[in-house]
């Protein structure tokens, strides 16, 4: 029985964003309930148990850069002792060789002609930028119309065509010329000139570059440990198996089948296209786009595959775009002398027929893991939908106008899917905290 049908705040979705909002609102004594359609907390940041195997919905490496998020996780949730700092050991598979990540800082690992192409084209691009005669500021991301233009104008043809464009086109299931730049920020930093040139001639084993050189991961229990830590303090607010089936924005009512909840403020962390369909704004769903990640989980003999946390596979001939090994996130995810690997493929949500079957990727798995296929045991196949909200060229206008319409109705969207952004777990937690702060401020 859910307490009180009249709530100050109703939150939709018990992923990290919804859970974090509820946690903070509870601390302020603000009357809140959280409705979740499944029977567990965590959303995309959950850990699945299948037979003796434990795995996340592909690798979930926790990167922490925000002091507020760190304070929340380490102190308020008291996870300081439970989270272990793990070194990223990631590589790129190219021409049957593993090249250390990031690609642009390790060009010396390429065949000579490819290395030369990358360096020459990068130098030409930089020369052109230095001698730009108009007032355009190439350091400003908003200068670039598309991801493709950013790549060619900052990295040059070689790095763009060998890695940046093919890898991202596979991951996002979208052509680089059709992708905007708003998602890039910390994920694709502006190239460092010295590091590119040095890395083209000097081989380095490990380079702590990029936003994810180190990450945190729970000692045990998979990434679910993080979601559970938030949920543990707000059990009384969270109602499972409550699929929201309608939202009346005018009368401020949420429906779960024939149950109705009135709210003063609504925080939605459920996927934005789904939320719009539940409201009378459905005729204006503004054609949001997303990909679906098909994740294959396999068990392999321990320590017999290449020793990398994850391997990027940019070659368009391969259907797989990334393979990771959970045992290198935490040994607690190995079992019975077996490691669990995740294998990711992606397709645009309007082209699901492009998602491969296990049969169709067996050869690729064999080649990348360097194991005979009879040593590889398929555990599970899961479609993560939506996987990545796609930033097409009109993403900003569409999402901003939807948010404005919703804010006028006292609806705050939060999290990777609620606010329709390329967000990490840290970002989604921060979004949840910010959403609760907005309500706390309004209440004062």
List residues near ligand FAD by CB under 6 A: 12-18, 35-38, 43-45, 57-63, 243-244, 269-270, 274, 293, 384, 387, 415-418, 423-426, 428
Instruction: Identify the three-state secondary structure at position 33.
Output: strand
CB of 432 to ligand FAD, least distance (A): 7
Q: Which residue has the tokens 């054609």?
A: 287
3-class SS of residue 65? coil
Residue 430 Cα distances to 18, 34, 68, 78, 244, angstroms:
11, 17, 8, 17, 24
Q: Which lies closer to ligand FAD via its Cβ, residue 196 or residue 425?
A: 425
To ligand FAD, the closest distance from the beta carbon of 12 in angstroms equals 5
Beta carbon nearer to ligand FAD, 16 or 328: 16
Q: Residue 359 in 3-state DSSP?
A: helix
Indicate the residue among 160 and 424 with the shorter CB distance to ligand FAD: 424
Least distance CB 252 / ligand FAD (angstroms): 17
Which lies closer to ligand FAD via its Cβ, residue 270 or residue 390? 270
- Minimum CB separation of residue 392 from ligand FAD in Å reads 18
Name the 3-class secondary structure at 298.
strand
Judged by CB, which is closer to ligand FAD: 24, or 115? 24
Asked whether the beta carbons of 58 and 340 are under 8 A apart, the reply is no
The residue (of 144 and 308) whose beta carbon lies closer to ligand FAD is 308
CA-CA distance, 158 to 116, in Å (whole number)?
Answer: 9
Residue 12, burial from CB neighbour count under 10 angstroms (0-12, 13-18, 19+) = buried
Residue closer to ligand FAD by CB (options 50, 177) is 50
Least separation in angstroms between CB 421 and ligand FAD: 9
Distance of CA 299 to the CA centre of its chain: 23
Cα-to-chain-centroid distance, residue 112: 34
**CB of residue 34 vs ligand FAD: minimum separation in angstroms?**
9
C-alpha distances (whole Å) from 439 to each of 78, 151, 239, 266, 294 are 25, 40, 21, 10, 37
Q: Nearest Cα to 389, choosing from 368, 371, 370, 415? A: 415
Minimal distance, residue 309 CB to ligand FAD, in Å: 10
Residue 73 has which token pair? Answer: 């996780």
């Amino acid at each position: 029985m859910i307490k009180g049908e009249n709530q100050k705040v109703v939150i939709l979705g018990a992923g990290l964003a919804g859970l974090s909002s509820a946690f903070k609102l509870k601390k302020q004594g603000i009357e809140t309930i959280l409705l979740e359609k499944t029977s567990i907390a965590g959303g995309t940041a959950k850990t699945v148990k299948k037979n003796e195997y434990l795995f996340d919905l592909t690798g979930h490496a926790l990167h922490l850069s925000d002091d507020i998020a760190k304070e929340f996780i380490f102190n308020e949730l008291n996870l300081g002792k439970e989270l272990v700092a793990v070194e990223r050991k990631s590589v790129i598979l190219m021409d049957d060789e593993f090249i250390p990540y990031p690609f642009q800082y390790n060009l010396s690992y390429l065949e000579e002609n490819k290395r030369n192409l990358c360096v020459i084209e990068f130098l030409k691009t930089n020369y052109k930028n230095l001698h730009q005669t108009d007032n355009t500021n190439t350091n400003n991301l908003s200068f670039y119309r598309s991801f493709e233009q950013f790549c060619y104008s900052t990295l040059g043809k070689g790095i763009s065509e060998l890695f940046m464009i093919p890898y991202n086109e596979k991951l996002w299931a979208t052509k680089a010329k059709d992708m905007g730049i708003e998602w890039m920020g910390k994920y694709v930093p502006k190239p460092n000139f010295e590091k590119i040139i040095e890395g083209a001639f000097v081989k380095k084993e490990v380079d702590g570059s990029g936003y994810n050189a180190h990450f945190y991961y729970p000692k045990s229990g998979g990434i679910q440990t993080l979601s559970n830590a938030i949920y543990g303090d707000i059990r009384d607010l969270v109602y499972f198996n409550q699929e929201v089936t309608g939202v009346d924005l005018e009368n401020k009512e949420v429906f779960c089948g024939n149950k109705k909840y009135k709210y003063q403020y609504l925080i939605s962390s459920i996927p934005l296209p789904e939320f719009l369909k539940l409201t009378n704004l459905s005729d204006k769903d503004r054609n949001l786009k997303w990909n679906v990640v098909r994740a294959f989980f396999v068990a392999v003999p321990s320590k017999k595959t290449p020793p990398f946390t994850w391997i990027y596979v940019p070659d368009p001939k391969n259907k797989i775009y990334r393979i990771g090994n959970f045992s290198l996130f935490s040994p607690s995810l190995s079992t019975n002398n077996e490691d669990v690997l995740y294998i990711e493929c992606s397709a645009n949500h309007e082209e699901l027929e492009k998602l491969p079957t296990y049969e169709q990727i067996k050869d690729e798995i064999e080649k990348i893991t360097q194991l005979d296929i009879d040593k590889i045991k398929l555990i599970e196949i899961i479609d993560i939908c939506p996987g990545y909200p796609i930033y097409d060229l009109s993403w900003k206008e569409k999402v901003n106008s939807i948010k404005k319409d919703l804010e006028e109705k006292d609806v705050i969207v939060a999290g990777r899917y609620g606010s329709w952004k390329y967000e990490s777990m840290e970002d989604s937690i921060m979004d949840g905290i910010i959403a609760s702060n907005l309500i706390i401020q309004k209440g004062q």
